[in-house]
């Protein structure tokens, strides 16, 4: 046996078969992911399945379960997973492979770029640059012209250690920007974790609510369900965050981050569905940088494909995050380049392309033209 990720031990398929029971949890991480044009040449003894019904497929999996000492995984074929876990594996494989419906009108057969419009004085990357409504509106229009298919408008910083603002101030910042950009015909997401802001934001023209706290505030899920009953294409993006923006980087800890984040996101989905929002109107975000160390963040990117098992689109937001220079140092970069947010484009694109190579459908970024081009070149290579 050997340990690869922190908190996860790789064992033989026979060991997983011995440990796993129908009462135990099972997680499947797609591997050997490739474009369908390449998978067409797969030897007949290796079955492949589509990844989220998109242009990629997979032939192998990491099969993960839990025992008393922690998490164990074995590398198996698709048929090997079925032989070990039967119906439980089949249910996971179906969730991993079925096509996703359109999300807020966007077809999920390719990655979409979400442009970040921070109408705040204190965001970690661009705080204050677009605080006025006119500047924020102009910035959003530039992003849309550069290829962003959704604009994410936020009026409260959620950087580590950030203090909340009043609901009135948050709405005063975002409402005119949402109204103007939605009137232009752009798809708008409101980046808010506050129930009292969600309804007015949708009333101003937002069709998506992007909540870093996963709709855990009282009444948030019910607000989304009520809005859906009135406008059927209203959608929710539920993110994982350990703690709050003020506390999330206070010694974050996980047994194994990808599967524990997965379980929390599963609970967020269940909460929204129970309130009345259809599963097809939900996406998830593992929350890179929100209550995670650089090691946790690296694990989440390496395991992006795992989150397709939730059966909904996956959003990845890595843009200009502070883990980038730390990961670069682990990879051998010398010097202190990357110490400021505007020095992290290269790392942002590297993380983005790793995620889109695993089928991530939504990419949230400050740097729209560069990200659009990078993803398009990746797809152009095939």
Instruction: Give me the pLDDT at residue 121, please.
Output: 78
In the three-class reduction of DSSP (H, G, I as helix; E, B as strand; rest coil), residue 210 is classed as strand
The conformational region for residue 196 under phi > 0 = left, psi -120 to 50 = alpha, else beta, is alpha
Element (H, E) at 211: strand 208-211
Residue 211 structure tokens: 């909540």
Cβ–Cβ under 8 Å, residues 264 and 240: yes
Which tens digit of pLDDT belongs to each residue from 116-149? 999 987 555 555 565 689 999 999 999 999 999 9
Averaged in consecutive runs of 10 residues, what is the pLDDT profile of the chain (382 residues)?
Answer: 66 94 95 94 88 97 92 97 97 98 97 96 57 90 99 89 86 97 99 98 98 97 98 96 75 91 98 98 96 94 99 98 93 92 96 99 98 98 88
Using alpha carbons, select from 356, 336, 337, 359 the residue that is nearest to residue 346.
Answer: 337
Structural domain boundaries in the chain: 2-97, 112-381
> How distant is the alpha carbon of residue 146 from its chain centre?
22
In the three-class reduction of DSSP (H, G, I as helix; E, B as strand; rest coil), residue 316 is classed as strand
Burial class (CB in 10 A: 0-12, 13-18, 19+), 319: buried
Domain 112-381 part of CATH 3.20.20.20: yes
Cβ–Cβ under 8 Å, residues 111 and 363: yes
Instruction: Give me the pLDDT at residue 28, please.
Output: 99
Instruction: Give me the pLDDT at residue 186, please.
Output: 99
| Residues that are catalytic | 321, 364
Q: What are phi and psi for residue 114, nearest 5 degrees?
A: -100, 115
> Across-strand partners of 117?
153
Which tens digit of pLDDT belongs to each residue from 310-368? 999 999 999 999 999 999 999 999 999 999 999 999 999 999 999 999 999 999 999 99
Residues in the chain: 382
> Across-strand partners of 30?
61
Instruction: Give me the pLDDT at residue 160, please.
Output: 73
Whole-number Å distance between alpha carbons of 265 and 269 = 6
Whole-number Å distance between alpha carbons of 214 and 315 = 13
Q: What are phi and psi for residue 102, nearest 5 degrees?
A: -60, 140
Using alpha carbons, select from 40, 111, 38 the residue that is nearest to residue 376.
Answer: 111
Whole-number Å distance between alpha carbons of 312 and 314 = 6
In the three-class reduction of DSSP (H, G, I as helix; E, B as strand; rest coil), residue 142 is classed as helix
């Amino acid at each position: 046996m050997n340990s690869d990720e922190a908190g996860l031990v790789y064992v033989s398929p026979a060991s997983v078969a011995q440990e796993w029971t129908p009462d135990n949890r099972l997680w499947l991480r797609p591997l050997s992911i490739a474009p369908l044009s390449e998978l067409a040449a797969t030897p007949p003894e290796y079955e492949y399945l589509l990844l989220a019904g998109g242009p990629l497929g997979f032939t192998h999996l990491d099969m993960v379960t839990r025992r008393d000492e922690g998490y164990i995984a074995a590398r198996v074929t698709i048929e090997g997973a079925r032989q070990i876990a039967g119906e439980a594996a089949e249910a996971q494989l179906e969730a991993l492979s079925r096509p996703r419906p359109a999300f807020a009108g966007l077809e999920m057969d390719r990655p979409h770029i979400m442009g970040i419009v921070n109408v705040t004085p204190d965001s970690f990357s661009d705080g204050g640059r677009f605080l006025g409504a006119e500047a924020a509106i102009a910035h959003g229009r530039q992003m849309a012209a550069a290829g962003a298919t959704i604009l994410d408008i936020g009026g409260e910083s959620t950087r580590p250690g950030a203090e909340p603002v009043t609901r009135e101030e948050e709405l005063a910042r975002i409402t005119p920007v949402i109204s103007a950009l939605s009137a232009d015909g752009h798809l708008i997401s409101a980046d808010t974790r506050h129930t009292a802001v969600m309804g007015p934001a949708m009333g101003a023209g937002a069709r998506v609510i992007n909540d870093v706290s996963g709709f855990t505030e009282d009444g948030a899920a019910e607000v989304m369900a009520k809005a859906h009953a009135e406008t059927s294409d209203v959608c929710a993006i539920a993110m994982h965050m350990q703690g709050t923006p003020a506390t999330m980087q206070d010694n974050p800890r996980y047994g194994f981050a990808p599967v524990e984040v997965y379980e929390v996101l599963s609970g967020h989905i269940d909460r929204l569905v129970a309130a009345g929002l259809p599963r097809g109107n939900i996406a998830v975000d593992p929350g890179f940088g929100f209550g995670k160390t650089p090691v946790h963040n690296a694990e989440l990117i390496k395991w992006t494909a795992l989150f397709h098992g939730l059966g909904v689109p996956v959003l990845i937001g890595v843009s200009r995050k502070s883990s980038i220079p730390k990961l670069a140092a682990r990879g051998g970069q010398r010097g202190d380049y990357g110490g400021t947010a505007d020095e992290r484009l290269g790392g942002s694109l590297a993380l983005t392309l790793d995620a889109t190579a695993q089928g991530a459908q939504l990419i949230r970024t400050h740097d729209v033209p560069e990200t659009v081009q990078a993803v398009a070149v990746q797809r152009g290579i095939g």
